[in-house]
Amino acid sequence: MLTWLARFDRAVGAVLRPAVFVGMVALTAVITLQIVSRVFFTSVSWTEEVARFLLIWITFLGAALAFQQGRHIAVTVLTDALPPRVFRGTVAVARLVALAFLVALAVIGYRYMIMQGFQKSPALRLSMSYVYAVMPLASALMALLCLSDLVRGLFGPDPRPPRGPATS
């Protein structure tokens, strides 16, 4: 079970890393086109809209990638001083709170996506459901990653990272 969860975790990272990278490259290209077209030609009308939508998707997918890699900000000065058993329980409670928040965000995001699905974007006439879909998608993905971390933290080896000057 724990090896399956570790594989799932790595697979999510393997999908999100290139997706965020491609989104960043596309965002750079669209903004460059927008600048060049404004300076030298007639402004391309859809570039601002595409840049905004790409930024929204990159933000949520990037947050999921940071969650998968354990790179969200955390103050650990107190939890690092706890004995292993108490540390494990504290981490489990924190993950349960995060899981509840992420599930709520996914549900609310899904409802919002459905509610705003009738809207069309001004320039591309794209259904706004495609733009808003990233909120429930990324939240559900982070919830699954959080659940995976919770199970691995409770039943796996000590979830505390190794200490020492060599860790970064």
Q: Is a pLDDT exceeding 90 seen at residue 46?
A: yes
Backbone phi, psi, residue 127, to 5°: -60, 130
Alpha-helical (H) ranges within 41-162 are 47-69, 84-115, 128-132, 134-155
Taking the C-alpha atoms of residue 88 and residue 155, their distance in angstroms, rounded to an integer, is 10
pTM as predicted: 0.87
Q: Has residue 68 been placed in a domain?
A: yes
Band (pLDDT 50/70/90 cuts) for residue 158 is: low
H/E element holding 31? helix 2-40
Angle subtended at Cα 98 by Cα 93 and Cα 101, rounded to the nearest 5 degrees: 130
Which of 166 and 89 is assigned the larger pLDDT?
89
Query: How many domains does the chain fold into?
Result: 1
The pLDDT of residue 1 is 77
| Residue 165 domain-assigned (yes or no) | no
Whether 160 shows a pLDDT value over 80: the answer reads no
pLDDT at 168: 46
Does the residue 141 lie in any domain? yes
Does 167 map to a domain? no
Residues 20/61, Cβ–Cβ less than 8 Å: yes
- 130 confidence band (pLDDT: 50, 70, 90): very high
In a domain, 162, yes or no: no
Q: Give the pLDDT confidence score for residue 113 in this predicted structure.
A: 95
Q: Is residue 128 part of a domain?
A: yes
**pLDDT above 70 covers what percent of the chain?**
93
Contact status, residue 19 vs residue 39, Cβ threshold 8 Å: no
Domain-located, residue 86: yes
Lowest mean pLDDT segment, chosen from 77-91, 104-118, 136-150, 152-166: 152-166
Average pLDDT over residues 12-26: 97
| pLDDT band, residue 164 (cuts 50/70/90) | very low
Please say if the pLDDT value at position 43 is more than 90: no
In a domain, 82, yes or no: yes
Q: Show the domain range for 62.
A: 2-155
